[in-house]
């Protein structure tokens, strides 16, 4: 009986670790997508020229030299 209980405890730990890994994978995917969209947004706004219209933008200071 204790052996059976121990097996359940180990199974629970494995499931916990797997769910933890899944959460980390989702967080990493979310961060990568967010950074990718942010870079695309900056790139296209630079191409179109919207960045120059933003006040107090650090990008305008570098690109207007």
Which residues, other chains included, contact 45 with Cβ-Cβ below 8 Å and sequence gap of 6+?
51
Q: In which domain, by residue range, is 37 found? A: 2-63
- pLDDT averaged per 10 residues in sequence order, the chain, 65 residues: 56 76 89 92 76 57 51
The number of residues in the chain equals 65
pTM beyond 0.85: no
Counting the structural domains of the chain, the total is 1
Q: What share of the chain is helix, strand, coil (3-state, %, to 5)?
A: 90, 0, 10
């Amino acid at each position: 009986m204790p052996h059976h209980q121990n097996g359940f405890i180990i199974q629970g730990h494995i499931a916990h670790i797997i769910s933890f890994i899944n959460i980390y994978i989702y967080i990493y995917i979310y961060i990568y997508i967010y950074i990718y969209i942010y870079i695309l947004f900056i790139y296209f706004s630079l191409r179109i020229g919207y960045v120059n219209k933003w006040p107090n933008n650090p990008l305008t200071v570098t690109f207007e030299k």
